[in-house]
Amino acid sequence: MNPTTNTHSKVRQMHDAEPYPNIPIATLPQDNLIDLYLYNLVTSYYLRNRQVISTQGKVILDAGCGTGYKCLNLAFANPGAKIVGVDFSEPSIAIARERLQYHNIADAEFHVLALENLPSLGLQFDYINIDEVLYFLPDPVAGLQAVKTVLRPDGIIRTNFHSSLQRFVYYRAQELFSLLGLTESSPDKAEFDLTRGIMHALKEDVFLKSMIWKPQFQTDDQMLLQNFLNRGDKGWTISQLFSALRDADLEFISMVNWWQWDLTQLFQNFDDLPVDFMIRLAEMSTEEQLHLFELFHPIHRLLDIWCGHPDAAQSSMPVFQWTVEHWQQATVHLHPQFCTPMIRDEMVDAIIQQHTFDLGRYFRMTNEPVTLDSTIAACLLPLVESPQPMLALVQRWQQIQPLHPLTLESITEWEAFDRIKDLLVYLEELGYVLLETGRSG
Ligand SMILES: C[S@@+](CC[C@H](N)C(=O)[O-])C[C@H]1O[C@@H](n2cnc3c(N)ncnc32)[C@H](O)[C@@H]1O
């Protein structure tokens, strides 16, 4: 058997025996707004192109979909899109199919297929999710290349690798249990019991135990399997990730959790850093800055990215460079994931009760609270129903707050304009609102 077939069959056997994830079919993804926000095609498309697209009619692939929980997330996050799930594990696909039927997602189809054979489907996709899969492939670049052939010209791929720096102790554990022969055939109850027995017997301060053993491994077979008895898991560095993208001729768009890779957050006071260091930082590429972050602070299990075809980004001017004319022709969108009846009701409640509205409680990309006072919430309320011209929000602000609270003089249109502009710059940076301008250049 050649090494690729051998790795494939080991990984497939592992997932046939223990389809992943073992989340109950009835579980709804709706409570986890940050996940839906990130699964929403609008988010990554806007990050790359500064344009807000409709998810209606889009075709989304979940490659290596396992038991389909992420397919369900993708379906909820992208109304009107078709979901296609592919995995080479037949038992996993059976559960995925059942899951989407259970939740009445009609426009979904599933195929038992290796990711490398995706072109045989004869479909092209607007968005491809390859979540927690690539690190199992014997040749991830070949996998990415196969996936790229079914990606539409302006399509986006979300994918991830395990971080070798963050996960190095788990790799040591996997090597150890492989040395003991526990991963030769598909690990089952006997191997789980033996692994737990060995870990239990270790003294608490033995490095392997003190670093990575958690109570949940005592009871959760799947977690134990994925972390200690995994048969295909591999770790990657940022440099290896970027080199794989180059080899597959794909262009990096962003880290999926980009706000958690911010170097400035690692320092007590970024502004006090040695000037020489600041100069070096400013000269570094995105790849180098991410690499540096990981060397300082390897806390992320996944190197989770969006990428796409080279040069697919539409050129657009960043919001901080917009002129008055750009703003005058701007349309403001609340991110569609926030346009829900629940959020509308909570905003209305804050307005009536004159409480602050805590936007950050749905999710936050900053350590600071994200609260809006009730008058600001009142101004932004129409955005829950539909996008609004920036100038309509300016007019609405003048109606809500006609007088300056200190001087009691009338608020001028320019004062209102500046107030709303500053607010929108802040909310756009945090990902809550999306801004498009009709003005080109
Ligand atoms: C850890 S699970 C992740 C499942 C799902 N993407 C998620 O994040 O919930 C990995 C999945 O990838 C599938 N897989 C691994 N290599 C594959 C390949 N070459 N072709 C198709 N599926 C593959 C496995 O069968 C398994 O269901």
| DSSP per residue, 230-289 | -SS--EE-HHHHHHHHHHTT-EEEEETTGGGG-GGGGSS-GGGS-HHHHHHHHHS-HHHH
Backbone phi, then psi, for 377, in 5-degree steps? -60, -40
Give span(s): CATH 3.40.50.150, the chain: 3-164+234-257+300-308
- So what's the pLDDT on residue 248? 97
Q: What is the mean pLDDT of the chain?
A: 93
Query: Does residue 360 carry a pLDDT above 90?
Result: no
Strands 108-112 and 82-87: parallel
| Residue 64 Cβ < 6 Å to ligand 1 | yes
154's enclosing H/E stretch is: strand 151-163
Q: Which of 82-86, 108-112, 113-117 has the lowest mean pLDDT?
A: 113-117
- So what's the pLDDT on residue 184? 85
pLDDT in tens, 231-277: 878 899 999 999 999 999 999 999 999 999 999 989 999 889 999 99
Q: Which two tokens stand for residue 344?
A: 């509308």
Cα separations in angstroms, 357 against 338, 354, 420, 426: 13, 9, 17, 16
Query: Does residue 22 carry a pLDDT above 80?
Result: yes
| Residue 91 Cβ < 6 Å to ligand 1 | no
- So what's the pLDDT on residue 187? 85
Question: Which amino acid is present at 279?
Answer: I
Q: Which atom of ligand 1 is nearest the CA belonging to 66? A: 27
- So what's the pLDDT on residue 361? 85
Cα separations in angstroms, 314 against 50, 165, 305, 432: 8, 34, 19, 21
Strands 125-130 and 59-63: parallel
- So what's the pLDDT on residue 367? 75
pLDDT in tens, 380-393: 999 999 999 999 99
- So what's the pLDDT on residue 386? 97
Instruction: Give the integer Cα–Cα distance in Å for 232 and 89.
Output: 15
- So what's the pLDDT on residue 87? 98
Cα separations in angstroms, 218 against 172, 192, 227, 316: 19, 9, 12, 51
> What is the Å distance from ligand 1's center to 237 Cα?
21
Query: Does residue 435 carry a pLDDT above 90?
Result: yes
* Nearest residue (CA) to ligand 1, atom 14: 64
Q: Give me the long-range contacts of 140-145 (CB less than 8 A, separation at least 24).
A: 140/244, 141/244, 141/247, 141/248, 142/116, 143/115, 143/116, 144/244, 144/245, 144/248, 144/250, 145/248, 145/249
pTM for the full predicted model: 0.91
Instruction: Give the integer Cα–Cα distance in Å for 119 and 100.
Output: 24
pLDDT in tens, 186-230: 888 999 999 999 999 999 999 999 999 999 999 999 899 999 998
Pocket test for ligand 1, best of 87, 95, 100, 229 (most atoms within 8 A of CB): 87
- So what's the pLDDT on residue 5? 65
> What is the Å distance from ligand 1's center to 64 Cα?
4
Q: Given CATH 3.40.50.150, say whether it is the number of domain 3-164+234-257+300-308.
A: yes
